[in-house]
Amino acid sequence: MTPSKYSKILGTGSYIPSRTLTNQELEKMVDTSNEWIIERTGIKERRLAKLDGSETCSEMGAFAAKKAMEAANIKPDEIDLILFATVSPDYKLPSTAAVLQQKLGIKNECPCLDIVAACSGFLYGLVIADSMIKTGIYKNILIIGAELLQPFVDWTDRTTCILFADGAGAAVLGRADENDSSKILSSTLSCDGTGDKLLFVPSGGSASPLNKEKLERKEDKLVMEGKQIFKYATRTMMRNSQMALEAAHLSVSDLQWFIPHQANLRIIEYLAKKLEINMEKIIVTVEKYGNNSAATIPIALDEAVRAGKIKRGDKCAMTAFGAGVTSGAVVLQY
């Protein structure tokens, strides 16, 4: 067991559900308009999974994971830890990571762990994996961010149904050395639990089990304090990005690419202005995919890599915020 000074992303993958829900379709469902949605969120359409069992959270995660392992040239049994970030697991138990292990045909009994950090989940997983790699105990760690949020969305609430979507992204993290052009340079994570009710599902957990009355009140659906979330999002992502860049001894001008959580284009634009980052450096997918929570960053990363935008050695920063209120940032050389 030899500790590793650095870790690096070996490969990425993603899965986008086939069904598209446009703003024009939403106009027929709730009191909204295409113009209203675009003005406030920048979202033109979003992707939704089939609810017939063919696109469960674990299935979408498996599709993304297979692509990531293929890109990393890693066989299933070479994975020695699975981290699955989601707030929409297949079951209350077992973990979706355990379900995924079986679907990937991994026979080595590697440990499996779910991460519940909402939209920050993939970055939480990346930071945890980075730390685990550095211990020398683990060599190849699979990180997935996947969501099937559809069942938890109130499709009569125009403030939330216009935002959320489904999808999955994944990455394989491995060892790197001092001279490697690819490596994670720095990271930071945080959580402010005083904001735990700003974005949450009121009932369905052990604190408030569901019953007929709660279902009638739609307490199994997401509720959100939009204005407060906007403030938290911009403040925490800006702070974490600055902290991670400082720890990496870099400035914003050193970055080739910036990947923020794809919650809302207006949040991204505001953050870009505050950090003084040119929008041309920012990877944006929210317009076509909506907000698929823990999946937004790995999907954006994978698409940018496969499109030839992000290249090996490019300096990138990623930042997110999510329910909790969780937040974080990672700076790396891809």
pLDDT in tens, 39-95: 999 999 999 999 999 999 999 999 999 999 999 999 999 999 999 999 999 999 999
Catalytic residue (one of 264, 291, 292, 316): 291
Single out the residue of 242, 319, 320 nearest to residue 274, CA to CA. Answer: 242
Omega of the bond leading into 89 within 30 degrees of 0 (cis): no
Backbone angles phi, psi at 113, to 5 degrees: -145, 130
pLDDT recorded at residue 311: 98
Whether 179 is catalytic is no
Whether 291 is catalytic is yes
Domains of the chain, residue spans: 6-176, 183-333
CATH superfamily of 183-333: Thiolase/Chalcone synthase (3.40.47.10)
**From CA 85, how far away is CA 259, in angstroms rounded?**
18
Q: 201-232 pLDDT, tens per residue?
A: 999 999 999 999 999 999 999 999 999 999 99
pLDDT recorded at residue 318: 99
pLDDT recorded at residue 145: 99
User: Is the pLDDT at 1 greater than 90, yes or no?
Assistant: no
User: Is the pLDDT at 150 greater than 90, yes or no?
Assistant: yes
Catalytic residue (one of 261, 264, 292, 316): 261
User: Is the pLDDT at 247 greater than 90, yes or no?
Assistant: yes
| Class (C level, CATH) for 6-176 | alpha beta
Q: Do domains 6-176 and 183-333 have the same CATH topology?
A: yes
Whether 261 is catalytic is yes
Q: What is the dihedral of CA 26, 320, 54, 71, to 10 degrees?
A: 130
pTM over 0.85: yes
Average pLDDT over residues 263-268: 97
User: Is the pLDDT at 178 greater than 90, yes or no?
Assistant: no
- H helix intervals, the chain: 23-27, 34-41, 57-72, 96-103, 121-135, 158-161, 212-216, 226-247, 265-275, 286-289, 296-306
Catalytic residue (one of 110, 119, 191, 316): 119
Contacts of residue 326, defined as CB under 8 A and 6 or more positions apart, other chains included, come to 117, 118, 119, 120, 121, 124, 189, 190, 191, 320
pLDDT recorded at residue 195: 95
